[in-house]
Structure 1
């Protein structure tokens, strides 16, 4: 999801349809779009490794936090996709 969002965001910014609001991601994008993409991909890989390493934990709090984070990120991805869709030249 994070990688897909990175590509959608890159496409929207490059075409002038959207801007990056997150200050860290905006700075990375301004430094170099490749750095922006590599950070997004690296973050996804890091989180997958963490999940695989700690999959045995039965903590309800961790499960709730993962569900909340996934839900919020899914919503953000949908918003980014929608913005790019409505801003596409017709």
Structure 2
């Protein structure tokens, strides 16, 4: 999922049909698109790897589910923008 998000975001940014809403990531993209892609893919992978290290509680499960829903929504939005080009 993180790879698809990175790909769609990069395509949308290159085509000029989207803007990166996160100011830190927008700055990173302006500095180096390769670094942007690396961070965009590596951070979610690192977070998933850390899940096993964190005690599972109702709060953690809720926050993970909320993050997954938000991430899925953004990914779907990017896909719609790319397809509608």
Instruction: Using structure 2 for the length normalisation, give the TM-score.
Output: 0.89
Instruction: Using structure 1 for the length normalisation, give the TM-score.
Output: 0.85
Contact 1:3 1:44 in 2 (8 A): no
2 CA distance for matches of 1:31 and 1:44? 21
RMSD of the TM alignment (CA)? 1.2
Unaligned runs of 5+ in 2: none
Over residues 6-28 of structure 1, what are the superposed CA-to-partner deviations in whole Å (9 max), with x where a residue is unaligned?
A: 11010111122222121111001
1 CA distance for matches of 2:62 and 2:13? 33
Structure 1 ranges of 4+ moved more than 2 A: none
Map of 2:78 onto structure 1: 80
- Aligned residue pairs, count: 85
Over residues 32-80 of structure 1, what are the superposed CA-to-partner deviations in whole Å (9 max), with x where a residue is unaligned?
A: 10010011122022112111323xx331111111111111111111111
Contact 1:9 1:80 in 2 (8 A): yes
Unaligned runs of 5+ in 1: none
State which of 61, 64, 67 in structure 2 corresponds to 1:66: 64
1 CA distance for matches of 2:82 and 2:66? 25
